Amino acid sequence: MLAGSLVVSYVTSRSATWSTLLFLLSIHLWTNYKAVRAVRMRTLNRQRANIVFSSYLQSLSDGGPYKEMRKYWPKTGQRVEREDMKCQLPSPREVSIKERIFELDGVMRWHGSIIMGHCVLGVPLKDILDTILHSTRYPTAGSYNLFSSEGKGQISEGKGHEDINIEALLVVFRDENYILSYSIDGAKPSRSWRPRFLIVLKEGSGPVTQAKSWFHAFLCARKLYTAPELLQRPVLKTLEETLEEVRNCWPQVQDSLQEAGWDLYTGALETRSGVRVSIKPELKRI
């Protein structure tokens, strides 16, 4: 504005006015870009979490290309000691260099480039119920009717959770402060392989729980991306396996994040006001 005030008295023609305007706007946008790039946040938002968790999972594959983490999966019978899963994660300064100024909300990128899926954090439980194939919602009452695959009733078309029901999902996550599920969107053939993750936060969950749930979703997304055939397996089985992996390595992930200078106790993953679900004790024993 100051520069514009100084040169306005010297600009007389229309062409000179437009040339000066474009020149000053270019300088303004460039200085704003440099100012934004200079910001180094210590909190984990969704994009920064993707970059940090990519580095961690990459370190588990001994620094080489990601190879499905087979040797870390419980189904192989092998277990990794927590000390072996500790690594040096990128600092806020290093991550700020890789950050995009404009990013799609909820996208899950591997090292900031490859899109592996999408995730929504802090959704109501009904969003997961709507993705379950064997469920019928009554719009007037807002209630749901769950029935088995052998039951009769109208079933919606598309890819749903043929193998899962809400009771089984609650049992799997009974000891966690979040509930994770995913579905495959078959409406767009070019993107049908990309899972859409839904995270329901339980009452009392804080920023650390949000980071843990995002890490769980990111691990699932990477596992499904590197092995697309796993998209045909039962959803609940994938969730159970990855949850076991998360429980094994999360303490070391948390320690590594704090040692790298990240602030886990200030929430930045939830971009809007979310909801919390309260699970009664009797439901946990289903």
- The confidence score (pLDDT) of residue 177 equals 95
- The confidence score (pLDDT) of residue 153 equals 38
pTM for this structure? 0.77
Q: Mean pLDDT for each 10-residue chunk of the chain (286 residues)?
A: 66 77 83 76 94 92 44 42 66 90 90 92 90 65 58 40 75 95 63 82 94 97 90 90 94 93 92 84 52
- The confidence score (pLDDT) of residue 102 equals 85
Contacts of 267 by beta carbon, 8 Å cutoff, 6+ apart? 43, 206, 207, 210
Residue type at position 194: R
- The confidence score (pLDDT) of residue 184 equals 79
Nearest to 125 by CA among 241, 203, 220: 203
Task: Name residue 199's beta-bridge partners.
Answer: 121, 180
- The confidence score (pLDDT) of residue 265 equals 93
Residue 161: CB atoms within 10 A of its CB come to 23
CA–CA distance, 281 with 275 (Å, rounded to integer): 19
- The confidence score (pLDDT) of residue 73 equals 39
Give the pair of three-digit tokens for residue 171: 């049992």
- The confidence score (pLDDT) of residue 159 equals 45
- Rg of the chain in Å (alpha carbons): 23
Question: What's the CA dihedral at 82, 88, 94, 98 to 10 degrees?
Answer: -50
